[in-house]
């Protein structure tokens, strides 16, 4: 080794399970690497979670174990096989039980969405979905984690990021009342409560808007499911250099 050569520690060696990049799918929603011409339109990832998949069932068990032992660091993907990790495109609502977890590590995941129940993780101080390149946005409920101070996010993978400014999916004023929402259109298969006031969403469905806010270390694109115009008006100002609204806040 040369005298002046620096050795950099792998900060994520404990966050990566076996299998490398074989445990995730490719994302071509927009160019995450170069300032090439971005597409005019993008859509949410439309994958639905297979709740019968071995990876999902294993993850449910891991969450129950973590809730029972009160652990402060939760690295579920490390304990899944590569095939199991690839099966996980969202997290179960039962993450709401993880109130003692201070650091949630989702490094290198195949996730395309995070459920609003993450807002119930009251003890969360650090959030690490780094290199989850199919995860382009977060639920507004993440702002309920009042102790969250540190985040490590691949910002080039985010809608509206400052470096590349890829577009946001266009939002409809209201989802159809009948049937469950199409995740490729609404970003979720279930929308039960208001992101702002936490009251139940009425039969007419939510009004959806985008807002970019600084959450912990990063400016994140947040999807709001609001029950009323008053809740939309109650949203805080967007981060400097960003906007907010129902379509494209850039």
13 in a structural domain: no
> Is the predicted pLDDT of residue 248 greater than 50, yes or no?
no
75 in a structural domain: yes
> Is the predicted pLDDT of residue 108 greater than 70, yes or no?
yes
> Is the predicted pLDDT of residue 10 greater than 90, yes or no?
no
208 in a structural domain: yes
Instruction: Look at 36-45, 82-91, 112-121 and tell me which has the smallest mean pLDDT.
Output: 36-45
Give me the pLDDT at residue 7, please.
44
Higher-pLDDT residue of 72 and 31 is 72
49 in a structural domain: yes
> Is the predicted pLDDT of residue 167 greater than 50, yes or no?
yes
Share of the chain above pLDDT 70, in %: 84
7 in a structural domain: no
Band of pLDDT at residue 18, cut at 50, 70 and 90: low
Give how many domains the chain has, as a whole number.
1
Contact 84, 54 (CB under 8 A): yes
The domain of 210 spans 20-245
Average pLDDT on 21-39 reads 81
Share of the chain above pLDDT 90, in %: 73
Give me the pLDDT at residue 90, please.
98
2 in a structural domain: no
> Is the predicted pLDDT of residue 202 greater than 90, yes or no?
no
pTM (two decimals): 0.89
Band of pLDDT at residue 221, cut at 50, 70 and 90: very high
Give me the pLDDT at residue 205, please.
81
250 in a structural domain: no
9 in a structural domain: no
Give me the pLDDT at residue 24, please.
84
């Amino acid at each position: 080794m040369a005298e002046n050569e620096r050795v950099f520690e792998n900060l994520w060696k404990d966050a990566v399970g076996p299998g490398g990049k074989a445990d995730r799918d490719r994302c071509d929603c927009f160019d995450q690497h170069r300032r090439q011409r971005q597409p005019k339109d993008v859509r949410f990832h439309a994958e639905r979670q297979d709740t019968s998949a071995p990876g999902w069932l294993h993850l449910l068990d891991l969450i129950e174990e973590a809730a029972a032992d009160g652990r402060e660091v939760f690295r579920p993907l490390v304990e899944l096989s590569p095939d199991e990790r690839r099966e996980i495109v969202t997290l179960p609502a039962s993450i709401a039980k993880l109130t003692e977890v201070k650091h949630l590590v989702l490094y290198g995941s195949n996730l395309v969405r995070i459920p609003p129940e993450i807002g119930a993780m009251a003890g969360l101080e650090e959030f690490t979905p780094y290199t989850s390149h199919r995860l382009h946005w977060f639920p507004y409920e993440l702002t309920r984690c009042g102790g969250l101070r540190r985040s490590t996010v691949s910002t080039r993978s985010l809608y509206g990021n400052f470096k590349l400014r890829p577009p946001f999916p266009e939002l409809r004023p209201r989802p159809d009342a009948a049937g469950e929402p199409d995740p490729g259109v609404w970003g979720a298969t279930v929308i039960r409560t208001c992101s702002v006031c936490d009251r139940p969403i009425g039969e007419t469905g939510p009004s959806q808007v985008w807002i970019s806010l600084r959450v912990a270390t990063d400016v994140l694109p947040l999807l709001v499911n609001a029950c009323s115009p008053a809740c939309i008006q109650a949203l805080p100002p967007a981060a400097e250099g960003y906007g907010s609204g129902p379509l494209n806040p850039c």
